[in-house]
Amino acid sequence: MIVLRLRGSINANISSHSKLYYMAVIDYRSEPQALTPEGPCKFHIVKTGFSTSRTNNTDFFDYLFRDLRNGIEFHDTVYLTKRSAWKIESLCRSIGLVLPEPPYKITPDDFDNRVGYGTLKHRALPKSGRVVAEFDRFWTKEYAIEQDPSLAAIPDPEDAVLEEVTLPPARKPKAAAAAVSAAPAVATTAPAEDEPAEVMF
């Protein structure tokens, strides 16, 4: 069930002539969302969701981030494809999730309330033209503070999960692994998220 709440006011005016008419005058103005600035930041993962794209059948994580520089919250997604594997792995390293040899298991709960670092950029959405913030890359704490020492002064949230955790490995049965290796490659139309040429931290 999806509940949509429209912010604004609805004024009902009643005019009576030969018949009684009811007319609703809707004064709706969407409130612009605050846009967090670009650049290095320290973030808190408030909530993580998992879904599958209807257009290309690609799985992805949907994150609600809070920029700890200013408290502004925003969404960003990471698609689970081979081309975007670098992004999910660098996010894990940033927030203290230790990666074993693949394959390994990961759930939305593993991300929630963790703190990390990265750089933000702005992007205009193609259909609406609305400008949103999204991560360009994720950094470890040590590297982030080297790049921007002011990040060291930002306190952690009270409910933050700070200890390192090693993700559990996932072992495939030999028959299933053989079937996967023999299966033909399936093209995907998920957004390209190739690893940048520079070294990721």
Q: Give the burial string for 88-106 (b: 16+ CB within 10 Å, else e).
A: bbbbbbbbbbeeeeeebeb
Pairwise CA distance, residues 92 & 166, whole Å: 10
For 51, the 3-state DSSP assignment is strand
Confidence of residue 171 (pLDDT cuts 50, 70, 90): confident
- 145 CB contacts (<8 Å, ≥6 apart)? 117, 151, 152
Q: What is the pLDDT averaged over residues 78-83?
A: 92
Q: Which amino acid is at 189?
A: T
pLDDT exceeds cutoff 90 at 10: no
β-sheet bridge partners, residue 138? 118
Q: What is the pLDDT averaged over residues 46-50?
A: 97
Q: What is the pTM (predicted TM-score) of this model?
A: 0.71
- The pLDDT assigned to 33 comes to 79
Query: Closest Cα to residue 109, out of 54, 45, 52?
Result: 45
Q: Which residue has the higher pLDDT, 37 or 21?
A: 37
Would you kindly state where each structural domain of the chain is located, as residue ranges? Answer: 39-169
pLDDT digits (tens, 9 = 90+) for 90-137: 999 999 999 999 899 999 999 999 999 999 999 999 988 999 999 999
